Amino acid sequence: LLGSCYRPPKIGYMTIFENALLELLPTYEHVIVLGDFNTDLLRDKDFYDRTYLINMFYASNMEILPLTATYHTDDSNTLIDLIITGDPELTVSFGQLPVPGISKHDLIYVVYNMKVPNVINKNITVRNFKKINIPLLMSDAASMQWMQIQELNSIDDMVSYLTQNLISLYNKHAPVRSFCTNRPPAPWITPEIRALMKERDLARKRFMRKKEMVWRQTFCRLRNKVKQEI
């Protein structure tokens, strides 16, 4: 889990972040958090926010990697941008890079030694029922000799005859196709997000076909919503 955190100055409660972190920690083997916590770790040890932040990560069995001041103004230098990891022994290197032409913040980085599991290709065989021509299917089904089932003597023969007829219809109108998956699963793509993505794609198709601005606006809104949810 790679998390990014921003705590606005004098706004928000660390307990909200802490509760979210504690909920996620048991489900991940590796956890790294980076962000601007707006709590200066160079301040006096008696400073409440500093003490709370350090104790929170210590209690979560995580370590704040040592950096120097990361935020620079004309009259102050503070350490508010942090790197926190649950496995400091896997940290290859870390540090900060000044970018005065872009930001008052230093860029912080961490190099982590983690073995990425190989994606195992999986062969999947399915039938596609979405493109079935219903009128043609009904016509072919009506032309089959269903009544011949009454001439059979055993239940097994009747079931076999019915099954063969149904499979022949399936094979003609929804043939079996196989494909190989080569992407890892994306557990963060929830059913709700997939539904939003489907609405987004539909709005785009309608805009491309009709060239109406209302559909372009709908597409942009849904696209932004999907990005926000992901």
Report if residue 81 sits inside a domain: yes
Task: Look at residue 119 and tell me whether its pLDDT is greater than 80.
Answer: no
Placement of tokens 């011949």 in the chain: 148
CA–CA separation, 179 vs 170, rounded Å? 18
Task: Report residue 46's pLDDT band, with 50, 70 and 90 as the boundaries.
Answer: confident
Report if residue 8 sits inside a domain: yes
Number of structural domains (the chain) is 3
Provide the residue range defining the domain that includes 48: 2-112
Tell me the mean pLDDT in the region 144-153: 90
- % of the chain surpassing 70 pLDDT: 99
What pLDDT score was predicted for residue 184?
67
Report if residue 117 sits inside a domain: no
CA–CA separation, 205 vs 211, rounded Å? 10
**What DSSP assignment string belongs to 45-81?**
TT-HHHHHHHHHHHHTT-EEPP----EE-SS-EE--E
Task: Look at residue 185 and tell me whether its pLDDT is greater than 70.
Answer: no
Task: Look at residue 159 and tell me whether its pLDDT is greater than 90.
Answer: yes
Report if residue 186 sits inside a domain: no
Q: Are residues 170 and 206 in the same domain?
A: no
Q: Are residues 30 and 78 in the same domain?
A: yes
Q: Are residues 134 and 203 in the same domain?
A: no
pTM score above 0.85:
no
